[in-house]
């Protein structure tokens, strides 16, 4: 299977080598649609719902979710969508090299909103903890809900997702990669440097 480079994002670093495809593109699309329905049901509509994708894996999913929500609900409703880079809120600054991958872009005041955080893979929960910290700097949301495509277990903090694409039990040393063609299970080869 193809190697895929991963930029150094915690807790991974190095080159991702896939072993098994666990979801294909169609399965991902269906999961997004299902999650969209769940969001609408849970929040009795889309009033005050804001979608925020976490850099970088959650951003394309967030956009896809926002578009799906608008399509399902119809009536020309617009769902605000933003992106959040949590580099400045991580708890492992100083332990590993960490740089923001993109500039955070949240155009609305989050006070009183229902924020649906979107990420590709939920693992230890530390990234989500950092994201919750970051969100409070943009206002006081009415509620924060979490949508992830893959929950791979091994939580280190009391964080739980509200919407899950697929539960995927993994070994701690394995890696999961969500991309445009689907979701792969594989390994991070740390001593191989990503191609420039």
Q: Does 104 bind another protein (CB under 8 A)?
A: yes
Nearer to another protein by Cβ, of 44 and 103: the residue is 103
Where does this chain touch another protein (CB under 8 A) — which range of 7-15, 68-76, 92-100, 171-179? 92-100
Count Cβ atoms below 10 Å from residue 175 Cβ, excluding itself: 24
Residues 185/20, Cβ–Cβ less than 8 Å: yes
Q: Measured over all CA atoms, what is the biggest interatomic distance in the chain, rounded to whole angstroms? A: 52
Q: Which of 40, 98, 132, 159 binds another protein (CB under 8 A)?
A: 98
Upper half-sphere CA count for residue 10 (Cβ side, 13 Å): 21
Nearer to another protein by Cβ, of 62 and 148: the residue is 62
Q: Which of 46, 49, 59, 85 binds another protein (CB under 8 A)?
A: 85
Count Cβ atoms below 10 Å from residue 26 Cβ, excluding itself: 9
Please name which of 117, 95, 93 lies closest in space to residue 104, comparing C-alpha atoms. Answer: 117
Where does this chain touch another protein (CB under 8 A) — which range of 37-45, 87-95, 149-157, 169-177? 87-95
Q: Does 196 bind another protein (CB under 8 A)?
A: no
Where does this chain touch another protein (CB under 8 A) — which range of 34-42, 72-80, 94-102, 158-166? 94-102
Nearer to another protein by Cβ, of 110 and 178: the residue is 110
Q: Which of 20, 45, 88, 190 binds another protein (CB under 8 A)?
A: 88
Residues of span 162-191 touching another protein by CB under 8 A = none
Count Cβ atoms below 10 Å from residue 180 Cβ, excluding itself: 7
Count residues binding another protein (CB under 8 A).
Answer: 22
Q: Does 67 bind another protein (CB under 8 A)?
A: no
User: 94-117 burial, b if ≥16 CB within 10 A, otherwise e?
Assistant: eeeebeebeebebeeebeebbbbb
Q: Does 35 bind another protein (CB under 8 A)?
A: no
Where does this chain touch another protein (CB under 8 A) — which range of 39-47, 90-98, 151-159, 164-172? 90-98
Sheet containing strand 14-24, edge to edge, reads: 3-6, 14-24, 182-189, 174-179
Measured distance between the N- and C-terminal CA atoms of the chain, rounded to whole angstroms: 20
Q: How far apart are CA 8 and CA 92, in angstroms?
A: 13
Residues that bind another protein (CB under 8 A): 85, 87-90, 93-100, 103-105, 109, 133-134, 137-139
């Amino acid at each position: 299977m193809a190697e895929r480079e991963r930029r150094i994002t915690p807790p991974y670093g190095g080159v991702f080598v896939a072993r098994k495809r666990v979801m294909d593109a169609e399965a991902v699309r269906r999961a997004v649609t299902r999650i969209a329905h769940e969001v609408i049901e849970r929040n009795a509509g889309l009033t005050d719902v804001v979608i925020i994708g976490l850099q970088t894996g959650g951003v394309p999913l967030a956009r896809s979710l926002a578009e799906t929500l608008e399509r399902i609900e119809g009536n020309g409703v617009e769902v605000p969508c933003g992106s959040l880079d949590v580099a400045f809120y991580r708890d492992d600054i100083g332990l590993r090299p960490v740089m923001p991958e993109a500039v955070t872009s949240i155009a609305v005041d989050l006070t009183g909103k229902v924020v649906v955080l979107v990420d590709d893979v939920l693992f230890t929960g530390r990234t989500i903890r950092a994201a919750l910290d970051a969100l409070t700097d943009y206002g006081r949301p009415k509620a924060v809900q979490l949508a992830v495509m893959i929950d791979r277990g091994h939580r280190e903090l009391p964080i739980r997702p509200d919407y899950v694409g697929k539960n995927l039990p993994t070994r701690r040393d394995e890696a999961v990669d969500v991309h445009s063609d689907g979701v792969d299970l594989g390994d991070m080869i740390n001593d191989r440097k990503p191609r420039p």
